[in-house]
Amino acid sequence: MGRYVVRRLLQMIPVFIGATLLVFLMMYALPGDPVRALYGERSVDEAQIAAIKAELGLDLPLMQQYWNYLLGVFQGDFGTQIASRRPVMDVITQALPATIRLTVLAFLITVVLGVGMGLVAGLRRGGKTDRAILFVTLIFISVPVFVIGYAYQNFFANTLGWTTPTVRDPEAWTQLILPAMVLASLSLAYVARLTRTSIAENARADYMRTAKAKGLSRPRAVTVHLMRNSLIPVVTFLGVDIGNLMAGAIVTEGIFNVQGIGSAVYRALSFREGATVVGIVTFMIVIYLVVTLLVDLLYAVLDPRIRYA
């Protein structure tokens, strides 16, 4: 187990270097010059542009720029923004907590509501509750997230007045509930349907009959035997889904004005702030890798047949 974890962690190094290089090259390939763009449609001052570029090292050959960037990263310096002259690390640490909070909250909603609904539906397959849940999840799957977002915003904030239409303080969990519900809606529907199928299938498995025959109470049979076996595909899905939630957060953040990673990366992209984009994307990749590792380890807990050497 320990060796497995170490190996996985070591694998992250080439992924890290590859990802930064790729994003770096992509930013470079985009048309547009971030320093020139500071002047927009106004008069351009070539001499000043050259001076700014020289100071930031943007006049060096591409590979040298990348090498300087990597050197900096290993010393904990993710570079400086071109326009604001802020350290990129500041921008990331400013934006990341809001997105992580939103993602975690959405993830919790997905797990609790999704698995809960799936469990109820699966146990009462074909019943009225089952059909109702199937119908609701169908709506979540078919309606685009931004439509749900605007609908919730309009209904819960403007019509009912239960909450504010936008998030003023991303540190307040209560303000994040509405956007998290929107963000979670699609995953929630998938998880519910996945759980339902899995539960419904396993409910008729031999081990369930055995459990019943040896006199286990139904709640215990369901929670310990049925759930544990049925959740393996769901856990796989949830692991992958963390990445989707973080990416999907960009749309939700826009609707509810959460100043998270989504808006930060969008702004950085439109200003061609290469270092910022590379930094943020790299951070997200690392988070994604760590989460996938955790999910893989969780398999072993759920299914003793899986062993990691």
Partner 1 sequence: MRGARSAKWVAGAIGVALVASACGSGDDNSGSGGSGDGGGVFTVDSGEPQNPLVPTDTNEQYGALVIDNVFANLVDFDEDGELVYTAAESIERNEDGTEWTVNLRDGWTFHDGEAVTAESYVNAWNWAANISNNQKNSYWFQDIEGYDEVHPEEGEATAETMSGLEVVDETTFTIALKTPFSYYDYKLGYNPFTPLPSSFYDDPEAFGENPVGNGAYKFASWERERKITLEAYEDYQGDNAAQNDGVELVTYTNLNAAYQDLLSGNLDVIRQVDTQNLPVFKDDLGDRAISQPYMANQTIVPVFYSETWEDIDPQVLQGLSMAIDRETIVNTVMNGSVTVATGFVAPGAKGYEENAGGEVMEFDPEKAKELIDEAGGVPGNAISIQYNSDGGHEAWVTAVCNSIRQATGVECTGDAKPDFQTDLNTRDAQEVKSMYRGGWIADYPLNAAFMKELYGTGSSANTGFFSNEDVDQMFSDGDSAASLDETVAAYQDAEKELFELMPAIPLWHQQVNGGFSERVSGVTFDPSGQPVLTDVTVD
Compute the distance between CA of residue 107 and CA of residue 180 in angstroms, rounded to an integer: 8
The stretch near partner 1 (CB under 8 A) out of 61-69, 128-136, 154-162, 300-308 is 154-162
Compute the distance between CA of residue 260 and CA of residue 99 in angstroms, rounded to an integer: 5
> Which SS3 state, helix, strand or coil, does residue 87 take?
strand
Using rule CB under 8 A, residue 42 touches partner 1: yes
Nearer to partner 1, 13 or 47 (CB): 47
Using rule CB under 8 A, residue 206 touches partner 1: no
Binding partner 1 (rule: CB under 8 A), the pick from 194, 234, 253, 281 is 253
Nearer to partner 1, 241 or 273 (CB): 273
Do residues 147 and 254 make contact, with C-beta atoms less than 8 angstroms apart?
A: no
- The CB-of-105 to partner 1 minimum distance in angstroms stands at 19
Nearer to partner 1, 66 or 271 (CB): 271
Residue 172 gets the label, from left (phi > 0), alpha (psi -120 to 50) or beta, of: beta
Using rule CB under 8 A, residue 160 touches partner 1: no
Binding partner 1 (rule: CB under 8 A), the pick from 2, 10, 41, 128 is 41
DSSP assigned state of 224: I
Nearer to partner 1, 88 or 189 (CB): 88
Residue 87 gets the label, from left (phi > 0), alpha (psi -120 to 50) or beta, of: beta
CA atoms within a 13 Å half-sphere pointing along the CA-CB vector of 153: 17
Look up tokens 């910022």; give the residue.
276
Compute the distance between CA of residue 309 and CA of residue 302 in angstroms, rounded to an integer: 17
Binding partner 1 (rule: CB under 8 A), the pick from 10, 46, 76, 219 is 46
Look up tokens 């893989």; give the residue.
296
In angstroms, the Cα distances linking 157 to 151, 182, 204 are 10, 13, 45
- The CB-of-40 to partner 1 minimum distance in angstroms stands at 3
CA atoms within a 13 Å half-sphere pointing along the CA-CB vector of 143: 17
Using rule CB under 8 A, residue 256 touches partner 1: yes
- Residues within window 162-201 making contact with partner 1, judged by CB under 8 A: 164-166, 168-169
Using rule CB under 8 A, residue 48 touches partner 1: yes
Binding partner 1 (rule: CB under 8 A), the pick from 18, 32, 57, 127 is 32
Binding partner 1 (rule: CB under 8 A), the pick from 157, 297, 298, 300 is 157
To 5 degrees, how large is the angle CA 138–CA 142–CA 144? 135
Tokens of 74: 């290993």
Binding partner 1 (rule: CB under 8 A), the pick from 17, 28, 33, 212 is 33
The stretch near partner 1 (CB under 8 A) out of 12-20, 156-164, 182-190, 200-208 is 156-164
- Residues within window 55-84 making contact with partner 1, judged by CB under 8 A: 55, 83-84
Binding partner 1 (rule: CB under 8 A), the pick from 25, 45, 209, 301 is 45
Compute the distance between CA of residue 159 and CA of residue 109 in angstroms, rounded to an integer: 24
Helix (H) or strand (E) holding 101: helix 88-109
Using rule CB under 8 A, residue 277 touches partner 1: no
Interacting residue ranges for partner 1, rule: CB under 8 A: 30-33, 36-48, 51-52, 55, 83-85, 90, 94-95, 150, 153-154, 157-158, 161, 164-166, 168-169, 253-257, 259, 263-264, 266-267, 270-272
